[in-house]
Structure 1
């Protein structure tokens, strides 16, 4: 009987945690938006990064064409890359394609959202409201959950430039 009670308790907790994990997901048409999050910014910072997963469950490609937020004067999708030891970060011209049946992850060191000209730096624990607009799926309001400035791991730093694997000096 105790084993059955433990099993039932474990299943209830597993279900609760699954529900909590899914509670921060959004949907626009065929686009599933997974866990929008940002990092806390240092006082006086004017630029912050946003991250999420975009999954296109449809049969045709779609495109993220704009992001807006009252917390930033300007918001863009950027792509970061390193070529021959030189890091570059540029806005994605024409929108970010989300291929049919695929997931595009916006994360440090690759595609990411840049919140620019932020008047009040993001603080850990708050939610940053934004609107994502897709070419086919339309617009959806989302909230970016602000975590600590250090991110999920030591390699995953706040500054998008810090999140890159840079070549070591020789």
Structure 2
């Protein structure tokens, strides 16, 4: 086989493989994590997730050694007008070609039973799993000073009915 033929074969093979790789590619940007204090037993992570494929997908799970239990959460207003944080068992949909924002006061990743305090400037290793795309493992910086609150006063939220992963 000549070098020209080999080069053409390799180029063709790459051209057939790369579109599949790009289609399954999820891009995670502007990620950060925070907790309310150095003694907090829970924390949260926020970010944007872009689905660079032509297939609808879904964030289905998150794992991390930073906490005993990690869940996908959102906020919903109950019939009394009280905002409550609840687990989203079905995950977060990420439509083909679209970006979702996990943000304070909305959808987010919840860490319960922190193994260590979240310390400004440190990082958490997190793996985000999707229904179709390959899992993405990333280091999320802890940013306790960031002020984008997603329009919600978290201090006034009723957390009394939250299940923090305890059996009691």
Structures share fold, TM-score greater than 0.5: yes
Which blocks of at least 5 consecutive residues in structure 2 are unaligned? Answer: 1-21, 158-168
Considering fraction of residues, name the structure with more strand.
Answer: 1
Please tell me the root mean square deviation across aligned C-alpha atoms, in Å: 2.5
Q: How many residues align?
A: 134
**134, 154, 168: which one aligns with 1:161:** 154
Matched position secondary structure for 2:154: coil
Offset, 1:160: 7.7
The alpha-carbon distance between structure 1 residues 48 and 117, as it changes in their structure 2 partners (threshold 3 A), is same
Is 1:136 aligned to residue 132 of structure 2? yes
Q: Which residue of 2 aligns with 1:57?
A: 52
Distance 1:101 1:163 in 2: 36
Q: Which residue of 2 aligns with 1:20?
A: none
**96, 99, 103: which one aligns with 2:95:** 99
What stretches of structure 1 move > 4 A for 4+ residues in a row? none
Larger radius of gyration: 2
- TM-score after normalising by structure 2: 0.71
Distance 1:67 1:82 in 2: 24
* Residues 78 and 113 in structure 1, CA contact (< 8 A), matched pair in contact too: yes
Q: Which residue of 2 aligns with 1:3?
A: none
The alpha-carbon distance between structure 1 residues 122 and 41, as it changes in their structure 2 partners (threshold 3 A), is farther
